[in-house]
Amino acid sequence: MEELHQTRCVPCEGGVAPANDAEIAGYLAQIQGWHVLEVDAMKRLTKSFAFTDFAHALAFTNRVGELAEQEGHHPALLTEWGKVTATWWTHSIGGLHKNDFIMAARTDEAFQTAPGAR
């Protein structure tokens, strides 16, 4: 089975059903520390990442932004002193799609080599 971080996102313009609970459970088993939360009746995937200071947190935010641009799939990113919270969901379908889990895995991969990561 191909690992999520090695998989490309597929265009998702809407008209596709969000991932069901079984699919979500299968994808969650492949990534560590991510949580599903529901906001405005939409499931979202979220995780916080710790850093030694604001500058390193900001650099990580920018790196995740670059990854998002490459795939045309964009998260909500909250950057604080020593912390970045990434939240992925697919706006056009109002929930989670495999793309969100792919990008979560890539976010984790970026964190592994991020300067100042704790």
Q: What string of pLDDT tens digits covers the 118 residues of the chain?
A: 457 656 665 656 667 889 999 999 999 999 999 999 999 999 999 999 999 999 999 999 999 999 999 998 999 999 999 999 999 999 889 999 999 999 999 999 999 999 999 9
Q: How many domains does the chain have?
A: 1
**Beta carbons of 108 and 60 less than 8 angstroms apart:** no
* Paired residues of 42 in beta bridges: 39
- What is the domain extent for residue 45? 19-112
Q: Does residue 79 lie in a domain region?
A: yes
Record the pTM: 0.91
Q: Does residue 61 lie in a domain region?
A: yes
Contacts of 79 (CB under 8 A, 6+ apart): 54, 57, 58, 61
